[in-house]
Chain A
Amino acid sequence: MTRRLLARVWAFFFRKRRDADLEAELAAHLDFAIEENIERGLSPQEARREALAKIGGMQQAREKHRETRGLMKIDIVMYDLRYTFRTLGRDLGFTIAAVLILALGIGANVAVFSVVNTLLLRPLPFPDSHQLVWIAPPPTKCGLSCATYSTDAYDEFRTGSRSYQDVTGYFAFSTPGNLSLNQNGSIVPATSIDVIANFFQVLGVQPAMGRLLRPEDGLDGAAPVIVLSDAWWRRQFNADPSIVGKTLDINHQQATVVGVLPPSFDFGAVFAPGTKVDAITPLDLYGPPRDWGNIITMIGRTKPGVSLSQAQQDAAAVAPRMCWNNKRPDTCGSYKDGVVPVPLKDYVSGRLRSSLIVLWSAVGMILLIACVNLSNLLLARSTARSKEFAMRAALGASRMRIVGQLLTESFVLSAIGALAGLGLAWFLVYWLAHQGSVALPLLSTLHIDGAALAWTVLIAVVAAVLFGLAPGLRTAAGNLHESLKDTGAGSGQGRRNERFRSVLVVTEVALASVLLVSAGLLLRSFVQVLNVDLGFESTHAAAINAAYDDSVPGDKTGDLTAQKRAVIFQQMIARVEAIPGVQAAGISDYLPLSQNRSWGLPLPKGVTPPKKQIDGPLVYVVTPGFLRAMGTRVRGRDFAWDDGPHGQQVVIINRSYARFLAGLTKWPNNDAVGQTLDNGTPGGLQVIGVADDVHEESTEGDTGWQIYYPQTQAQPSGAQLVVRSTVPPATLANSVLMALRSLNPHQPAAEFRPLQTFVDHANSPRRFFMLMVASFAGLGLLLAAIGIYGVISYTVTRQTQEIGIRMALGATMGRVQRQVLGGTLRLAIIGIALGAAVSLAAAKLISSLLFATSPWDGITYVAVALALLAVAFVAGYLPARRASRIDPMVALRAN
């Protein structure tokens, strides 16, 4: 059989030679026959006639031969294609409209598919990524400190577990801008992450240049080395091909560049969405970090064949043996039930699953609307061409052949639309990949890949069948004689098509209303999130990472350091507050909605700690004035500069924590202000104020507990200078930097970030999904409007004569308009009702994405219905107006 197929393909491509062969053969045949007939005594003319008759038609013989020897189907397709291009070229307006609608539908679909594929479907960009697990306790309210492990705990887990090939981790508390690169005298801030030296081996990342980290790089006292990210290498070092081996002046140390990461590995994209990580440095695991407590996030690679539940059982078995600090046996077992591996992929993008599914459905609906619209367009076109088809049928074209021709047209339209859509998707994806501030994982790795191309082909084919089949079958089913006679006005066929078109319009409006309801609900949720009282004022304030050097040589107690630091901070704040337009300034080591940590759970004196492990409050080490600069209200008093190292230790706690503490003991009026908490020192911690609850981890979640220490009595891990101003913060950026540089020439040119950017960053995934769904809803509305307009104006055109007669019989312009508009609105109302029903049924899908909004929110439904009615009214009004302007005389003469 393959032999025959090959021969057929061969014959298909060398038809000229085969045709010549056949001609020669037939000619010979004819000659033989004529000769024989003449021998039988016929006249030459008669001999030729009879020979031809015997052959039974030369043309039929040729056709039959070709059909048998070659690939007739492809011949037909080629013919149909040529014909399609010709007709589409002739009807350019229709072609452009159809391609545009398809390009929008397919482009949006391919772009969203790329997002879904990257975030949800495709494995993480690491070899054997299914083996990678994220190891963390179940969610807690004490932030990063409770999601991380100590060095000793990491060591015990790594050596004690059996299901893992290896375990690695990184330092979770790096602050943005923690590197100061001194490049020829100019100080450039950059961000690096400290990782355990086996980090890249575990993930399976290979260097683009040089090498990545080795175990010896992580030893205490090892020569400083740095691995550059691809982006930073290009941006900061002009893609210097000989960068490996050079030394960089970083944080006053000479660090050797040992390698450059490949473009495919972006630390931020996987582990810290929406942030930019410029370099990777080794974590000095067995140096000072040993005593820093919980600092490491753990990532493991399971052995081949180990299931997740095996890995989880193994982790649970090791957990009780893990100690917070091996020197303190009482801390052993504190990680019990707190070591749970989950697939790394789930950690990275698991939360986005439902958002992505909603997004995917939304974009699928866009494609459906586009198909319905095209179906409508094609139907109108095929009605106009019904005579052409009837003629072809009369000339012997089979029904299949005509449907085939129409389907070919659909496929060609779909293919052109898909090409244009692919271009659109490419732009969209490029734009999305460069939305660096959107906190969605892997977004920067987005690109159109093979899967996206395959998806494009798939939806193009599905779309072509969807929008092409219905009009094709309708046309082919038409009665030949009717079509040839039918002038288009008021015949049975016309009326049947009209009903079908009404169904299409209703479908379109229903789909659009589902989309609009979803978008409306998401929009309302977004507004609700924006209206959340965050506990601080994000507007008119900005923060900058301030560099300072508070080290005092030979300072054993840390008192001198604290005093020096207080002086430095006081000077900084004074300088900055002297800038015109600045209202208040203050310093904290961490800011809300960025990083955090906790130090344990100070309880009122005399209260025995509860048996059950309770997560401690998040700790902020601040200067006086910080809370005022943040706009956080405090009852009681703020810290003062003379709350010194030797004075009474003081703290400010937030309301939720105060309420919790008050529940444990008896305080007058249940008021925490003035009460003392136990921290193991004789004087304890005196609560001097109670601050508002601040949303520290997310804008949407519940607020946890917070405790503020003065920087004179506790060691801060950095300085974020917050400036509140009466003028837009951006205008102050330069003068604030100058003020800091005047005190510390080593101050890097760090970014002066408005607090609003922290809020925006936290809200960015919600904003992203809301905007996407809203733009799809807008697109759906537009397509629906076009659909309504198309159908109604087609109807009006078709009924020109009828309207003319009615107007001649005395119908007023208003009456005609009312009738056309009434028909339009009737379709719209049916569509809206259907859409509302579908939305109500689908409420469950979207409810997990909503914030303080009911999925049955009445206002949204009413607003969507009104918006759609308004659009339907406008789309119907234009043809209605045209109908009412029909001149009866012209209309009656027209046919």
Chain B
Amino acid sequence: MSPSKLDLLQGTLDLMVLKTLTAMGPLHGYGIARRIEQVSGDEVLLNQGTIYASLVRLEQRGWIASNWGVSGNNRKAKFYAITVAGRQQLEEDSLHWKRLTDVMDRVLDLNNEPGDLPDAEGDPA
């Protein structure tokens, strides 16, 4: 495997799955995995098998629901769809994620511009 690819942070896969399902509508496991890989521009090191652990976790929490169905090329597959609770969760998690990345950005920028410290303190985030 290429060392330049990013290791997935704990919990980020769940968020990606939820977002993918909101954007694409019901999808099977392979579809979700491929979609994530495509969107990330193959930047993410994704063992496709791990997607199923994420799916079962999300389903047990009631954020997604699953149904056996038939795919476009006439193959039997399990289709996952996001639930209302899942949408709510996605909203919360996205917000949280954005705040976290904002903070990370600013902290990482600090090194380059030490003069910005008072500004950073004034920010409520």
Q: What's the tally of chain A residues with a CB closer than 8 Å to chain B?
A: 29
> Is B97 interfacial (CB 8 A cutoff)?
no
A3 to B63 Cα, complex, angstroms: 12
> Is A211 interfacial (CB 8 A cutoff)?
no
The segment from A23-31, A174-182, A522-530 found at the interface with B is A23-31
Interface string of B28-68 (1 = CB under 8 A from A): 11110110000000000001111011101101111000000
> Is A607 interfacial (CB 8 A cutoff)?
no
> Is B4 interfacial (CB 8 A cutoff)?
no
Query: Given A4-B61, A65-B56, A69-B60, A32–B49 Cβ distance below 8 Å?
Result: no
A55 to B73 Cα, complex, angstroms: 21
A323 to B48 Cα, complex, angstroms: 97
Residue of A nearest to B49 (CB): A61
Which residues of B lie under 8 Å from residue A221 when comparing CB positions? Answer: none
A548 to chain B: closest CB distance in Å?
A: 88
**B75 with A58: CB separation less than 8 A:** no
Which residues of A lie under 8 Å from residue B62 when comparing CB positions? Answer: 3
B48 to chain A: closest CB distance in Å?
A: 5
**B48 with A29: CB separation less than 8 A:** yes
Residue of A nearest to B61 (CB): A4
B49 to chain A: closest CB distance in Å?
A: 3
Which residues of A lie under 8 Å from residue B78 when comparing CB positions? Answer: 21, 24-25, 28
> Is A33 interfacial (CB 8 A cutoff)?
yes
A887 to B47 Cα, complex, angstroms: 63
Among the listed B31, B47, B76, which residue makes an inter-chain contact with A56, where contact means beta carbons less than 8 Å apart? B47
> Is A57 interfacial (CB 8 A cutoff)?
yes
B24 to chain A: closest CB distance in Å?
A: 15
Which residues of B lie under 8 Å from residue A28 when comparing CB positions? Answer: 28-30, 75-78
Among the listed A3, A8, A29, which residue makes an inter-chain contact with B29, where contact means beta carbons less than 8 Å apart? A29
A56 to B34 Cα, complex, angstroms: 14
**B30 with A32: CB separation less than 8 A:** yes
> Is A60 interfacial (CB 8 A cutoff)?
yes
Among the listed B34, B52, B59, which residue makes an inter-chain contact with A26, where contact means beta carbons less than 8 Å apart? B52
**B75 with A56: CB separation less than 8 A:** no
A67 to B50 Cα, complex, angstroms: 11
Interface string of A38-62 (1 = CB under 8 A from B): 0000000000000000111110110
Interface string of B69-94 (1 = CB under 8 A from A): 00101011110000000000000000
Which residues of A lie under 8 Å from residue B31 when comparing CB positions? Answer: 32
**A55 with B57: CB separation less than 8 A:** no
**A56 with B48: CB separation less than 8 A:** yes
Which residues of B lie under 8 Å from residue A4 when comparing CB positions? Answer: 60-61
Residue of A nearest to B73 (CB): A35
**A31 with B75: CB separation less than 8 A:** yes
**A60 with B49: CB separation less than 8 A:** yes
Highest count of chain A CB atoms <10 Å: which of B33, B48, B59, B76: B48
Which residues of A lie under 8 Å from residue B76 when comparing CB positions? Answer: 24, 28
- Give 8 closest A-B pairs by Cβ, nearest first: A61-B49, A56-B47, A7-B60, A32-B30, A68-B53, A64-B53, A69-B56, A28-B77
> Is A22 interfacial (CB 8 A cutoff)?
yes
**A25 with B29: CB separation less than 8 A:** yes
Q: What's the tally of chain B residues with a CB closer than 8 Å to chain A?
A: 25
A869 to chain B: closest CB distance in Å?
A: 63
**B57 with A68: CB separation less than 8 A:** yes
Which residues of A lie under 8 Å from residue B48 when comparing CB positions? Answer: 29, 33, 54-56, 61
**B75 with A61: CB separation less than 8 A:** no
A56 to B1 Cα, complex, angstroms: 11
Residue of A nearest to B30 (CB): A32
A36 to B49 Cα, complex, angstroms: 17
Could you list 14 further interchain pairs (A-B, Cβ under 8 angstroms) beyond the known A8-B60, A24-B78, A56-B48?
A4-B61, A7-B59, A11-B56, A25-B29, A25-B52, A29-B48, A32-B75, A33-B48, A55-B47, A56-B47, A61-B49, A61-B52, A64-B49, A64-B50
Q: Which residues of B14-29 have CB atoms within 8 Å of chain A's CB atoms?
A: 28-29
Among the listed B47, B53, B73, which residue makes an inter-chain contact with A67, where contact means beta carbons less than 8 Å apart? B53
Highest count of chain A CB atoms <10 Å: which of B48, B52, B56, B59: B56
A495 to chain B: closest CB distance in Å?
A: 44
Among the listed A24, A25, A61, which residue makes an inter-chain contact with B50, where contact means beta carbons less than 8 Å apart? A61
A28 to B70 Cα, complex, angstroms: 11
A29 to B48 Cα, complex, angstroms: 9
A31 to B56 Cα, complex, angstroms: 21
A65 to B30 Cα, complex, angstroms: 15
Q: Can you list 19 A-B pairs with a CB-CB distance of less than 8 A?
A: A7-B59, A11-B60, A25-B77, A26-B52, A28-B28, A28-B78, A29-B29, A32-B28, A32-B71, A36-B34, A55-B47, A57-B49, A61-B47, A61-B48, A61-B53, A64-B52, A67-B53, A68-B54, A69-B56
B1 to chain A: closest CB distance in Å?
A: 9
Residue of A nearest to B50 (CB): A64
Which residues of A lie under 8 Å from residue B30 when comparing CB positions? Answer: 28-29, 32-33
A68 to B57 Cα, complex, angstroms: 6
B57 to chain A: closest CB distance in Å?
A: 5
Which residues of A lie under 8 Å from residue B61 when comparing CB positions? Answer: 3-4
Which residues of A lie under 8 Å from residue B29 when comparing CB positions? Answer: 25, 28-29
A450 to B50 Cα, complex, angstroms: 48
Which residues of B lie under 8 Å from residue A56 when comparing CB positions? Answer: 47-50
Interface string of A252-295 (1 = CB under 8 A from B): 00000000000000000000000000000000000000000000
Residue of B nearest to A10 (CB): B60
Which residues of B lie under 8 Å from residue A11 when comparing CB positions? Answer: 56, 60
A67 to B57 Cα, complex, angstroms: 10
Highest count of chain A CB atoms <10 Å: which of B59, B60, B61, B75: B60
Which residues of B lie under 8 Å from residue A21 when comparing CB positions? Answer: 78
Which residues of A lie under 8 Å from residue B77 when comparing CB positions? Answer: 25, 28, 32
A845 to B56 Cα, complex, angstroms: 62
A504 to chain B: closest CB distance in Å?
A: 44
A4 to B57 Cα, complex, angstroms: 8
A427 to chain B: closest CB distance in Å?
A: 50
A421 to chain B: closest CB distance in Å?
A: 42
A7 to B49 Cα, complex, angstroms: 21
A30 to chain B: closest CB distance in Å?
A: 8
A24 to B78 Cα, complex, angstroms: 9
Which residues of B lie under 8 Å from residue A22 when comparing CB positions? Answer: 52
Query: Given A4-B61, A28-B77, A60–B47 Cβ distance below 8 Å?
Result: yes
A720 to chain B: closest CB distance in Å?
A: 82
**A3 with B60: CB separation less than 8 A:** yes
Interface string of A815-853 (1 = CB under 8 A from B): 000000000000000000000000000000000000000
A22 to B59 Cα, complex, angstroms: 14
**B56 with A68: CB separation less than 8 A:** yes
Interface string of A644-664 (1 = CB under 8 A from B): 000000000000000000000
A56 to B7 Cα, complex, angstroms: 14
A65 to chain B: closest CB distance in Å?
A: 5
A28 to B34 Cα, complex, angstroms: 14
A36 to B73 Cα, complex, angstroms: 11
A7 to B58 Cα, complex, angstroms: 11
Interface string of A173-196 (1 = CB under 8 A from B): 000000000000000000000000
Residue of B nearest to A56 (CB): B47
Which residues of B lie under 8 Å from residue A33 when comparing CB positions? Answer: 30, 48
Interface string of A673-717 (1 = CB under 8 A from B): 000000000000000000000000000000000000000000000
Which residues of A lie under 8 Å from residue B34 when comparing CB positions? Answer: 36
**A65 with B53: CB separation less than 8 A:** yes
A865 to B86 Cα, complex, angstroms: 75
Which residues of B lie under 8 Å from residue A3 when comparing CB positions? Answer: 60-62
A59 to chain B: closest CB distance in Å?
A: 9
A61 to B29 Cα, complex, angstroms: 12
Which residues of A lie under 8 Å from residue B50 when comparing CB positions? Answer: 56, 61, 64
Highest count of chain B CB atoms <10 Å: which of A35, A57, A60, A64: A64
